[in-house]
Amino acid sequence: MESAKSELITDAMSEKIIETAEKIATTDGASTLTVRRILKELGITNRVFYNRFHNVDEVLKIAYRNTVQKVRESVIVELDSQKDFFESVTDLVATSLIVSYDTKMKFNQYIFENDSLSQSNYEWWVSEIKKLIDYAKVKGYIKDVDSDIMSYSIWCFCRGYNADAVGRNLPKEDAVKNFRYSFSLLLEGMKK
């Protein structure tokens, strides 16, 4: 017997529903997202929605994954060996903050709650940070620090700063300037 999940339709309308949910969540906040609002926005019926999704939380989870993916894609870059390593890393994490501002502002409470519970998101970020730390150690840019402890600490710093700055609606320019300053001091302590 097949599960009800396999009977759901996945098509262009499914994508429109997800896009509409993302728009509503980022414009007015995830708490304002309801099936009724999606139906009204798209001019569709309950049947159209429920043939594709079980509930609005399912759509929010997909929108959340899409938002997390956008932030992750913003930090996947090749380091330029001609550019100062520490400046490159600071640019990289500042870009993550900027993308967070652009994609999370009204969606931030939902995202923050899910980030807090998401083991896979934690593991992805710590792994990426550890790669940078190990690269810097091999190149002789930083002290022989414990990569596991430092990757976790940097993740906590970046994530905490990001969540607070977005949550307090700090002006993006101020948040980025203050973040770059603070993060550069953190990196300074790791330099050889």
Residue-wise pLDDT for 15-35, tens only, equals: 999 999 988 887 777 778 899
pLDDT for the residue 53? 95
| Whether residue 94 has pLDDT greater than 70 | yes
Cβ atoms < 10 Å from Cβ of 74 = 17
Nearby residues of 88 by Cβ (< 8 Å), 6 or more positions away: 79, 80
Q: Which residue has the higher pLDDT, 70 or 181?
A: 181
Name which of 43-52, 54-63, 68-77, 162-171 the model is least confident about: 68-77
Across the range 52-66, mean pLDDT stands at 89
What three-state secondary structure class fits 2? coil
Across the range 42-51, mean pLDDT stands at 95
Angle, to 10 degrees, between the axis of helix 56-74 and the axis of helix 35-42? 80
pLDDT for the residue 130? 95
pLDDT for the residue 134? 95
pLDDT band, very low/low/confident/very high, at 113 (cuts 50, 70, 90): low
Q: Which residue has the higher pLDDT, 138 or 29?
A: 138
Percent of the chain residues topping a pLDDT of 90: 44
> For all residues of the chain together, what is the average pLDDT?
85
What three-state secondary structure class fits 53? coil
Q: Which residue has the higher pLDDT, 63 or 130?
A: 130
Task: Tell me how far apart the alpha carbons of residues 177 and 64 are, in angstroms, rounded to a whole number.
Answer: 27
C-beta of residue 34 within 8 angstroms of C-beta of residue 56: yes
pLDDT band, very low/low/confident/very high, at 47 (cuts 50, 70, 90): very high
Most confident of 19-28, 46-55, 69-78: 46-55
Superfamily for the 12-60 domain: Homeodomain-like (1.10.10.60)
pLDDT band, very low/low/confident/very high, at 3 (cuts 50, 70, 90): very low
Percent of the chain residues topping a pLDDT of 70: 87
Question: Which residue ranges make up each domain of the chain?
Answer: 12-60, 75-188
Which alpha helices (H) appear in the chain, and where do they start and end? 12-28, 35-42, 46-50, 56-74, 85-104, 108-117, 119-139, 147-167, 172-188
Q: What is the pTM of this model?
A: 0.68
